[in-house]
Structure formats: C-alpha cells, structure tokens
Amino acid sequence: MYVAVKGGERAIDNAHRWLEDERRGDRKVTDLSVDQIKTQLSLSIAKVMAEGSLFDPELASLAIKQARGDLIEAIFLIRAYRTTLPRFGVGQPINTDKMIAKRRISATFKDIPGGQLLGPTFDYTHRLLDFKLLADGSIDEFEPGKDTEQMFQHVTQFLNNEGIIETEETSSSEAESPDLTRQPLEIPANRALRLQALTRSDEGFLLGMAYSTQRGFGRNHPFVGELRIGLISVEFEIPEIGFNIEIAEIEISECETVNQFLGSKTHPPKFTRGYGFVFGQSERKAISMALVDRALRWKELGEVSDGAPAQDEEFVLYHGDNIQATGFVEHIKLPHYVDFQAELELIRKIRKTAFEAKKG
Amino acid sequence: MSNSEEDFNFAYLDEQTKRMIRRALIKAICIPGYQVPFASREMPMPYGWGTGGVQVTAACLQETDVLKVIDQGSDDTTNAVSIRKFFERVAGVKTTENTGKASVIQTRHRIPEQVLSEDQILVYQVPIPEPLRFLEPRETETRVMHALEEYGLMHVKLYEDISINGEISTAYAYPVKVNDRYIMDPSPTPKFDNPKMNFCPAIQLFGAGREQRIYAVPPYTKVISLDFEDYPFEASRAEKTCEICGATNTYLDEVVIDDKGTRMFSCSDSDYCNSQKS
C-alpha cells in the first residue's frame, strides 16, 4: 500500500535505497565513471545539455549516471540545479560565422566555398550491429584534415547577397529577447521567445511536429540551406574593464532552412527562413526546430494558417517541454482517492436515480 | 541566511525569487480569484506534484512558522511526507500534524475539517488553475473570457449536465465564484469542501507551478459554488459514519479491506479523526 496508512515515510526511504542499489547494478561489473559517460555517450550529453538548458558536459554526465540513463530524468536534475544558479548578466550574441566546424553541409548547392564537410556523422553508415564492439573496443585514432580548422561563411549569405532570401532581423534589447526561465510564458510570443522554447523542447516532440509539416499539416517546403556543427566561443562584456572576454567554448548544431517564397506582383518574391540552434551535436533536433520555427512564422509572414498543430503557437510552446509534460502526465499515479471517492458517490447517486426512474 | 547541513537559502528559493512570488501573492490577494502569472521556477520535485504550492509556501514561511502538509487529507500520504521532509531540510521549520497548531498548511485535494483561524495560511497545490480550461483549451481565449466576465459557457455546461444526468456531474474541482466577480477553480478538492472556503478566516493561497499562475482568496471573502435556483449546490459525502472515530459529518475515504470487496469508511482528515478518538 502506498497510501495513507502510517509508514509512508519509511516506505519512501526504503524505495530510495532500493533505487540506489538497482542503479549500481551487479557489483561484479566495474562502476561506470562520469568520465566514461562524458567521453563515450556524448550525444546523450548533448540532449541533456540542450533540454536542460545548461552547457556543462560534466554535470550532464553526472545526471545521466544518477538517472540510470533515463535522459528525461537527467534533464530534470539539470533543470532543478540550473534554476538555483545566479544570473549575473547576458552574454554577447553568438556569431556562428566564426564557428570552427567539424561538420558542415548544404543541400541547396552541389558545392560551396570551403566545401561540404561530412564530419563524424551516422549518415551513410549501414545500420548493421557491429559485433566487434561486444568483444574488443579498440578503435584507431582519427586525425581530421586541415579543412576542419577554418571558418565558413553561411550558405544563406550567398542568397542574401542576391536579395533572394529574407534578411534576418537582429534583436538588440533584452525586451526583444526575454528570458523564458525568468518570466512566465505569455502568448503571443515573439520569435526570440519561441526559439528559446523550441531549443529546450523535447527532441521527440519537435521531431513529430516537424514530420507532420512535411506530411502536409502546415507544409512549408524546406531545403536545408546549411547544417553546421562545431565550436563557437561565448563572450561576455565586463563593464569594469570595458571589453569582451571569452568565457566558454561550446559545441552547437545550427540548421538554416530555405523555405517557400513569398511575394506579389509589386513585391518580388523572396525565400523565407527557418532556424534551428541546439547545444551539442544534435542535428536531428536542429533540423526539426528549423521546420517548426518556419511553421510558426505564418502570421508574421502574412500567410494563411492551415490550422495545423505545428502552426499553433499555443499548442507547440505549451506542450513541448518534456519536464513539464512528464511531471504532469506522471502525477496521475499520485494518490487521487479523495477525488475518486467524490466521483464514486456521484455516479452511484446518478445510477440510483436512473434505476428508480426506469422502475417507476 | 543559510540553513541545515546543506547550503540552501532559507526555504530553498533565493530571496529575489521569493520577492517575485510575494509580489504575485499581493496582487492575487488584491484581486480575489484572478489568476496572476508568475515566473515559476523549476523545483527539485516534478511539475504536477505540488511545485506551485511549494513555491508559495516557501515565499510565506518564516523561521517561527509551524508547517503542516497534507495530501488527500492525511499527513502520512507519500507526497505529503516528501514535501514536509523537503521543508524540514531546507527551512528547518517546525512541523506538525495538528491542524490547530499549524501557521501554514499546504494541502492537496482537501481542506481540513477543523475551522481555520485568522492566524493561518492555507496553501493549495493546483494542477490546472483555469476553471474554463476543459470548456476552452486556449489560454488566450480564457483570459479574455475572464476579463469580460463572460461565463455563459460554464453555465451552459452545468445546465447540460443536469439535462443529461439529472444533476451537475462535477464531484471535485467544483467551480466557485469569488467576491461576485471571478469564477475560480478551488483545486481538485471534493465539492464537500467548497462551503469551507466561503468567509474563511484564514488566507487561502493557490499555486500552480507548471501553469505559472498564483491566485488567492483573502480572509472573509464570499466564495459561492455555482448552481441554479432549482438545482441548488449540495456538499455531498458518503452517507456513512467513520468507523474509527464515529464522526458523521466528515468527508470519508472508502477503503477496500478484503478480496470480497468489503468496504470500510473512515475520515479522510487523519488529524481530525485522531482528535475525535481521544
């Protein structure tokens, strides 16, 4: 019994001890180190950092270990920690032109200045289980070529030079870029706020939403103008010294889509954009985010909504957060017997009245 | 002001956050029944498990407070135990199971049977603060409906209940009108508890963490359960007697006690039940 009989406190303590024991598992097997997780499960780390909204591979690894590999649980640990951190300022806008990319591809041009750089991708692997890994994990080291140490201009810039794609507007004030974690979400949200919500949304949720647009629920004809993954520096201006200093170097994934154009006889048509930006190597989510971003932009681009789920700002922004979702969905396992009792009494009464009416 | 062995701020939240919540609480008290948006924080317990109530309690607690936490009317339900332990750890305040001795009571799904006093604060955990939500899923719409006091949809729903089932088929989270203005969700308490809200001497605060809303009923405020003249509101309960303390006027739990489905009824409010026994 998990309920009101005395002993709830002891039951909770025992449950936690049992959980710890199961997390550790068979003691004959070496304990998994945080370093191992950090260096060998980097894509899990990327997800935890992105959806936890905290770039810290070490803490993400710890969270994954503590959560027994349940990534949503790990994200939750990170979020609960993050919210206690003081906020001492706002960093300088990140310039992804300055990225040192390890992967950078464009689907819109056969070749691009700097070249297509595949990088460490699962694309084109044949998905065959590699049974060698069961036995021997030794892998030859790989030295990337010089191509990976340069900065690349964004591919969409080539279109922009021609004036054939819309120009991104930059927001300069904090009012234009509010902090989702410090203010209640209010709808309608501007694009900056939407992008914030999307980048910390659940990958699976965004993937499903993006997929639905491709299948016709709010279709927006995307081309991947460019997808790039690599390191960028984060700078922060210290007012006392009057210039920017680099406080971190982070890995990010960025996707820019080129979408169907808009225009009229008087305003020459232009391509439009969708944008995805995610911590770590997470291109599935970056692409999904760009598609959903574009779908949500129908109003500001003067389009007519199909009423598709992915075009519905309130639907997408209120339901994409996996920590909110998992908490609320799972809370129904808490005791609800008081409410159930009220329903029982009500249904018995209604049934009684109905039977009497039938007889009478 | 750090506390206990771990270095948390008193009652976990930092002072800036508490101030933000207190501002929302003051606004909520000033506009009874109005849902005030607030920048709800991520708490170290899941959304939907009392994060709103916990934040409100944290913002109200002082070192001299005595805290009681109940869930389903009982102090010993798992989540009540968990939240009480949380505040013991991060605030170091005294806790009690005695309703009369508590200065702050955090509750989920029940209002204590004992009449509360002017010295007490009752903090409700709220899952869905919007009483119109299941009639209109869009927040953008329901906020306008409240602003315009456009509550026809709710009355139609209650009327349809009667026409289909012969009576209003809401047994818990039964909508109320506060101070003749806002329709408010009393949180999922059984409708048996609704009359206790009306002109209650204690401050009633409601926290919905995931939905980022706070609302309140100030002391001695009119709280009326919605009904029709010919179908008046009824605070229903199981028509039984508590088999532990003999009370005939309390809300009862129905417990299945054997494989044949035999039932036993006892008070949902465990502290009240204990006090009647002795």
The number of C-alpha atoms within 13 Å of A238 and in the hemisphere containing its C-beta is 5
pLDDT at A210: 97
Q: In what order do the strands lie in the sheet with B36-37?
A: B36-37, B213-217, B203-208, B121-125, B104-108, B66-71, B94-95
Distance from CA of B88 to the nearest CA of A (A): 13
- Interface residue of B42, B89, B139, B193 to substitute, partner A, most A CBs within 10 Å: B42
Q: What is the pLDDT of residue A88?
A: 82
Nearest to B47 among A83, A328, A342 (CB): A328
- Inter-chain residue contact B268 with A338, CB threshold 8 Å: yes
Query: What are residue B71's phi and psi, to 5 degrees?
Result: -140, 130
pLDDT for the residue numbered A6: 61
Point out the residue among B40, B78, B252 whose CB comes nearest to the CB of A11: B78
Of A80, A82, A334, the CB nearest to B49: A334
Note whether A186 contacts B37, CB cutoff 8 Å: yes
Token look-up 């225009």 returns: A263
Query: Pick from A145, A80, A100, A110: which is nearest to A249 by CA?
Result: A100
Query: Does the beta-carbon distance from A341 to B110 stay under 8 Å?
Result: no
Alpha carbon A246 to its chain centroid, in Å, reads 25
**Confidence (pLDDT) at A144:** 84
CA dihedral A205→A207→A210→A214, nearest 10 degrees, is -130
Residue A171: the pLDDT is: 67
Question: CB distance B78–A2 less than 8 Å?
Answer: yes
Q: Using an 8 Å CB-CB cutoff, list chain A residues near B71.
A: 334-335
Q: Is A243 on the interface with B (CB under 8 A)?
A: no
- Is A342 in contact with B109 (Cβ distance < 8 A)? no
Chain A positions in Cβ-Cβ contact with residue B81 (cut-off 8 Å): 8-9, 12
3-state SS assignment for residue A358: helix
Give the Å distances, CA to CA, from A31 to A35, A41, A43, A45, A58. 11, 15, 21, 19, 17
Which residue type sits at B260?
K
- Cα–Cα distance between B16 and B248 in angstroms, integer? 47
The b-or-e profile of A176-202 (16+ CB within 10 A means b, else e) is: ebbebbeeebeeebebbbbbbbbbbbb
Contact with chain B for residue A5, Cβ under 8 A: yes
Inter-CA distances, B200 with A109, B70, B224, Å? 71, 19, 12
Chain B contact present for A327, CB below 8 A: yes
Q: Please, are residues A201 and A320 in contact by the beta-carbon 8 Å criterion?
A: yes
C-alpha span between A223 and A225 (Å, rounded)? 6
Catalytic residue among B33, B53, B73, B207: B33
How many CB atoms lie under 10 A from the CB of residue B215? 28
- Is residue A314 within 8 A of residue A187, CB to CB? The reply is yes
B245 has catalytic annotation? yes
Residues 138-167 of B with CB under 8 A from A: 138-140, 165-167
Which residues in chain B (234-253) have CB-CB distances under 8 A to chain A?
236-238, 251-253
Given this model, what pLDDT does residue A172 score? 62
How confident is the model at residue A221, as a pLDDT?
A: 84
Interface of A with B in 144-183 (CB under 8 A): 181-183
Alpha-carbon separation of residue A352 from A344, B163, B271 (angstroms):
12, 16, 33
Q: How far is B192 from chain A (nearest CA, A)?
A: 8
Contact call for A350 and B165, based on CB within 8 A: yes
Q: What is the pLDDT along chain A (360 residues), one digit of tens a residue?
A: 333 446 678 888 999 999 999 999 999 999 999 999 999 999 999 999 999 999 999 999 999 999 999 999 999 999 999 988 888 888 898 999 999 999 999 999 998 888 899 999 999 999 999 888 888 778 889 988 776 677 888 988 888 888 889 888 776 666 677 889 889 998 999 999 999 999 999 999 999 999 999 999 998 889 999 999 999 999 999 888 889 999 999 999 999 999 987 777 777 888 999 999 999 999 999 999 999 999 999 998 888 889 999 999 999 999 999 999 999 999 999 999 999 999 999 999 999 988 888 887
Whether the Cβ atoms of residue A235 and residue A245 lie closer than 8 Å to each other: yes
State in Å, rounded, how far the first CA of chain A is from the last one. Answer: 43
**Which residues lie closer than 8 Å to A16 by C-beta, 6 or more apart?**
none
Question: CA of A87 to nearest chain B CA: how many angstroms apart?
Answer: 11
Q: Looking at the complex, report in whole angstroms how far the Cα of residue B183 sits from the nearest Cα belonging to chain A.
A: 20
A272 vs A303: CA distance, rounded Å: 12
A231 part of contact set with chain B, CB < 8 Å: no
Tell me the chain A residues in contact with residue B189 when contact means C-beta distances shorter than 8 Å. Answer: 338
Nearest CA among B139, B246, B156, B235 for reference residue B195: B235
**Contact flag B109-A82 (C-beta cutoff 8 Å):** no
Q: Cα dihedral sign for B197, B32, B181, A187?
A: negative
CA-CA distance, B145 to B133, in Å (whole number)? 11
Measured between CA atoms, how close is B72 to chain A, in angstroms?
A: 6
Q: Determine whether B267 is an active site residue.
A: yes
Burial label, A314 (beta-carbon count in 10 A; 0-12, 13-18, 19+):
middle
Cβ contact (<8 Å) for B169 and A350? yes
Strands (E), chain A: 100-105, 223-238, 243-262, 270-279
Please give the Cα distance from A297 to A257 (Å, whole number): 13
Query: φ, ψ for residue A226 (rounded to 5)?
Result: -165, 140
Confidence (pLDDT) at B2: 42
Q: Which residue type does B2 have?
A: S
State the Cα–Cα distance between residues A123 and A117, nearest whole angstrom. Answer: 12
> What's the average model confidence in pLDDT over B121-142?
96
Best probe of the B interface among A338, A348, A353, by most B CBs < 10 A, is A338
Q: Do the strands B203-208 and B223-225 form a parallel or antiparallel pair, or are they unpaired? A: unpaired
Element at A206 (helix H, strand E): helix A203-214
The reply to whether A19 touches chain B by the CB within 8 Å rule is: no
CB distance B146 to B34 below 8 Å: yes
Spell out the residues 6+ positions from residue A62 whose beta carbon is closer than 8 angstroms to its own: A34
In sequence order, what are the residues at sequence separation of 6 or more whose Cβ sits closer than 8 angstroms to the Cβ of residue A228? A96, A99, A101, A103, A104, A105, A152, A253, A254
Element (H, E) at A38: helix A34-40
A355 and chain B in contact, CB less than 8 A:
no
Is-catalytic flag, B30? no
Structure tokens, A358: 């039938």
Name the 3-class secondary structure at A7.
coil
Which whole-number Å values give the CA distances from B203 to A57, A289, B217, in the listed order?
45, 45, 6
Q: Which of B50, B52, B207, B267 is catalytic?
A: B267
Distance CA B71, CA A334 (A): 10
Q: How far apart are CA B92 and CA B85, in angstroms?
A: 9
* β-sheet bridge partners, residue A233: A249
Hey, what are B171's tokens? 């047994």
Q: Cα–Cα distances in Å, from A106 out to A109, A211, A257, B46?
A: 6, 20, 10, 41
Q: What letter would DSSP give residue A223? A: E
| Smallest Cα distance from A188 to chain B, Å | 8
Question: CA nearest A187 in B: which residue?
Answer: B140
Interchain CB distance below 8 Å, A343 and B44: no
* Chain B contact present for A76, CB below 8 A: yes
The domains of chain A are located at 9-82, 96-121+149-167+182-320, 328-359
**Residue in chain A nearest B45 by alpha carbon:** A80
Assess contact for B51 and B210: CB atoms under 8 A: yes
Instruction: Give the distance from residue A328's alpha carbon to the nearest chain B alpha carbon, in angstroms.
Output: 5
Residue B94: strand pairing partners: B66
Closest chain A residue to the Cα of B172, Cα to Cα: A339
The answer to whether the CB of B214 falls within 8 A of the CB of B56 is yes
Count CB atoms within 10 A of the CB of residue B175.
Answer: 22
Q: How would you classify the pairing of strands B203-208 and B213-217?
A: antiparallel
Contacts of B251 in chain A (CB under 8 A): 338, 341
Question: Which ranges in chain B belong to alpha helices (H)?
Answer: 15-30, 51-60, 78-90, 139-147, 152-165, 194-197, 270-277
Residue to substitute from B77, B124, B162, B168, interface A, most A β-carbons within 10 A: B77
